[in-house]
Amino acid sequence: MTTIYARELEIAQLAVQRAAILTKRVFREKAKGTVSKDDASPVTIGDFGAQALIISALRHNFPHDDIVAEEEASALREDAKLRGMIWGLVRETKLEDVAAEGLLGRGVRDEADLLDVLDRGKSAGGRVGRVWTIDPIDGTKGFLRGGQYAIALGLLEDGDVKVGVLGCPNLPVDDEAPLDVGIGENQTDEEGRGVIFSAVVGEGAWSRPLGTGALQEGKKIRMKDIADMANASFCESVEAGHSNQSEAAQIAQKLGITKPSVRMDSQAKYGSIARGAGDIYLRLPTSKTYQEKIWDHAAGDLIVREAGGQVTDTKGQRLDFGAGRTLASNSGVIAAPAGVHSQVLKAVQDVLGL
Ligand SMILES: Nc1ncnc2c1ncn2[C@@H]1O[C@H](COP(=O)(O)O)[C@@H](OP(=O)(O)O)[C@H]1O
Ligand SMILES: [Mg+2]
Ligand SMILES: [Mg+2]
Ligand SMILES: [Mg+2]
């Protein structure tokens, strides 16, 4: 059992579980209320609703902690209809277990509070103190197309990830299931799907079914050792704009990997390799200027490392979560079992000319 971060781990998992009730409802009801952000990426009522629910749980339990969250309220201040839809969903979403719901506090009070709660995620992050990172829906494009998505929550202390939680509603519960890329846009059959991955620094990583009430029992997960690269499987983004897929194919060939890549949205990739469903996750920069966001990696980084993996950027440096809201000092991500990471890194650097 966990020791010093037990309460953080419990609250984080319950908050993620409650947020997933909301995102699954939004997916089922097909009224996703998509709006575009400045960078042309989509955000849905699911993203806003999940973020509000998670922040309200953190505000209640850890009122002094900072929060770095992906979304903010400005689009809702100008759009009363969208705001009303989100408020309705947030108000109605509760865990089925009264005691578990009680642990998350009284929730969001009204529409004005909804905006305040969403904007509590604007911390600059950094190297000092406790900072939660929230990606309410990681892989929004995957969410929209019925691919994989993750609700991601991490706790940083002085710039290091101490607790990581990933709720993956569309992944198989079964840790032995093969890599799975989702359910499809018109599917509603969620039978056998929904998993929460979690990790605490120094204590390991777990998976458990993503439920709708109290937390279910967890199991320790470990990465698979790669005996033969020919049989290794690697995952990458579905979106070619998020990771360079042609360079990844060259790297795979150099390593002697024979299987084609598995393209999967979101941090479900980190969870999938952490439980041994896949082996390697490559994220290769597509531009010199894009900086990876800390909420896209904090939970996944810890879960993979606690399951026996190593996570670095393409330069071989650990991901630096203390640099602010972005991984400003890193470039790309290479996640692999510790025993082969240096071999994978070398192949990456050969192909990228580093
Ligand atoms: N040019 C880019 N390079 C790398 N990542 C990018 C990117 N543009 C957007 N992203 C990030 O890629 C995330 C999805 O990752 P993946 O491709 O692994 O599914 C997005 O998270 P959101 O969906 O939360 O916005 C977004 O933050
Ligand atoms: Mg986004
Ligand atoms: Mg994201
Ligand atoms: Mg997101």
Tell me whether residue 138 is annotated as binding.
yes
Distances (CA, A) of 62 to 8, 97, 137: 9, 21, 22
- Of the residues 34, 36, 37, 41, which should be mutated to test ligand 1's pocket, given the most ligand atoms within 8 Å of the CB? 41
CB-side exposure of 131: number of CA atoms within 13 Å? 25
Residue 314: the pLDDT is 98
CA distance 352 to 326: 22
C-beta separation of 300 from 271 below 8 A: yes
Please tell me if the domain spanning 6-221 has the same topology as the one spanning 229-352: no
Q: Which fold has domain 229-352?
A: D-Maltodextrin-Binding Protein; domain 2 (3.40.190)
- pLDDT at residue 140 greater than cutoff 70: yes
The model's pLDDT over 299-308, given as tens digits with 9 standing for 90+, comes to 999 999 999 9
pLDDT grade for 66, boundaries at 50, 70 and 90: very high
- Check if the interface score ipTM surpasses 0.85: yes
DSSP state of 104: T
Tell me the ligand closest to 296's alpha carbon: 3
pLDDT grade for 40, boundaries at 50, 70 and 90: low
> Is residue 72 lining ligand 1, measured as CB closer than 6 Å?
no
> Is residue 237 lining ligand 1, measured as CB closer than 6 Å?
yes
Residue 35: the pLDDT is 75
In Å, how far from its chain's centre is CA 303?
10
- Is the pTM for the entire model greater than 0.95? yes
CA distance 336 to 345: 9
Tell me whether residue 137 is annotated as binding.
yes
Residue 68: the pLDDT is 98
Cα-to-centroid distance, 247 and ligand 3 (Å): 22
Tell me the ligand closest to 149's alpha carbon: 1
* 168-206 b/e (C-beta count within 10 Å ≥ 16 → b): bbbbbbebeeebbbbbeeeeeeeeebbbbbbbbbebbbb
Mean pLDDT of the chain: 95
pLDDT grade for 190, boundaries at 50, 70 and 90: confident
> Is residue 142 lining ligand 1, measured as CB closer than 6 Å?
yes
The model's pLDDT over 22-39, given as tens digits with 9 standing for 90+, comes to 999 999 887 767 777 766
- pLDDT at residue 53 greater than cutoff 60: yes
DSSP state of 315: T
- pLDDT at residue 45 greater than cutoff 70: yes
> Is residue 266 lining ligand 1, measured as CB closer than 6 Å?
yes
The model's pLDDT over 198-237, given as tens digits with 9 standing for 90+, comes to 999 999 999 999 999 999 999 999 999 998 999 999 999 9
> Is residue 296 lining ligand 1, measured as CB closer than 6 Å?
yes
Q: Tell me: domain 6-221, CATH 3.40.50.300, correct?
A: no
Instruction: Give the atom of ligand 1 at the shortest distance from the alpha carbon of 293.
Output: 27
Residue 34: the pLDDT is 75
- pLDDT at residue 1 greater than cutoff 70: no
CA distance 87 to 52: 9
User: What tokens were used for 219?
Assistant: 């199991």
CA distance 119 to 124: 12
- Nearest CA to 16 out of 58, 45, 65 is that of 58
To which residue do tokens 């971060």 refer? 5
- Residue whose CA is at the smallest distance from ligand 1 atom 5: 242
Residue 339: the pLDDT is 96
> Is residue 293 lining ligand 1, measured as CB closer than 6 Å?
yes
- Cβ-count burial of 224 within 10 angstroms (0-12 exposed, 13-18 middle, 19+ buried)? middle
Q: Where are the domains of the chain?
A: 6-221, 229-352
In Å, how far from its chain's centre is CA 300?
6
CA distance 161 to 301: 8
158 is catalytic: no
DSSP codes, 192-219: TEEEEEEEETTTEEEEEE--SSSPPPPE
- pLDDT at residue 134 greater than cutoff 90: yes
Residue 297: the pLDDT is 99
**Which listed residue (23, 140, 312, 314) is catalytic?**
140
C-beta separation of 272 from 278 below 8 A: yes
To which residue do tokens 């079964």 refer? 174
3 is catalytic: no
Tell me the ligand closest to 140's alpha carbon: 1
